[in-house]
Amino acid sequence: MITLRYEKRYPFTAVSHIDVLRVMNRVFSRAGLKMKYSGGFNPHALIYFSPPVSVGIESLCEYVTVAAEDPSEDITEKLRSVSPEGLCWLKAYDVEKNPNFAATVAWAEYEIRGADVEKLTEKALKEASAPGYIISYTEKEKEVLKDTGGAVKSLWSEKGVLKAVIACGNKNLRADRFGIGLMKNNGLGYGDLTFLKMRMFDENMLSDEKMLEKFIR
């Protein structure tokens, strides 16, 4: 079994998670990776993802675990040669079993950039980190109000960049909705905001890299 770490960069950020699965199947096939399949009447390739990042957001820490018959040492090079722009393979790990990031990841750290980000005050950041903070966003042409409900673990500004550790996985808070809602609440511009997912953590704030170490052969 192989766990692959990859980056999701522009323009691959426009690909939804459902379509990412389709792309992965094609890429693995073109790279010559011999996949293992489930049994039953509708067999499918055994592929397991970390919690998916939202469309439009770049990420440095995406993972996919693949059940394969003969993992190759140079599989990352093969994958790079057949992958679309923005799907950037970093490293392959031979693992004993699926690390199951989808179930264990609880938090993710993001960097949020924009011209008005540096105008956020310490008071605004403290309020946004507190339980009961309300944000608004547009969904299907309707304005939606959402209580972040303690989904913001920490929030700070560093050299004009907003850094946020927010809920990921089963209790996911979308970084783009949070960032836009925060800026709107403070009367600041948000049209130029960009989002970058830096790393993930479990409930005990163990990083994704440390979580993976336990499964590497």
Per-domain residue ranges of the chain:
2-103+207-213, 106-201
Q: How far apart are alpha carbons 139 and 43 in whole angstroms? A: 35
* Predicted local distance difference test score (pLDDT) of residue 72: 56
Whether 81 contacts 159, CB under 8 Å:
no
Whether 48 contacts 100, CB under 8 Å:
yes
Q: Tell the residue number behind the tokens 């507190």, with chain if given.
A: 130
Q: What does the pLDDT look like over 88-118, one tens digit per residue?
A: 999 999 999 999 999 999 999 999 999 999 9
Nearest-CA neighbor of 89 among 54, 108, 51, 62? Answer: 62
The tokens describing 105, both together, are 């990841």
CATH class for the region spanning 2-103+207-213: alpha beta
Q: What does the pLDDT look like over 106-157, one tens digit per residue?
A: 999 999 999 999 999 999 999 999 989 999 988 888 999 999 988 999 999 9
Q: Note if the pTM is more than 0.85.
A: yes
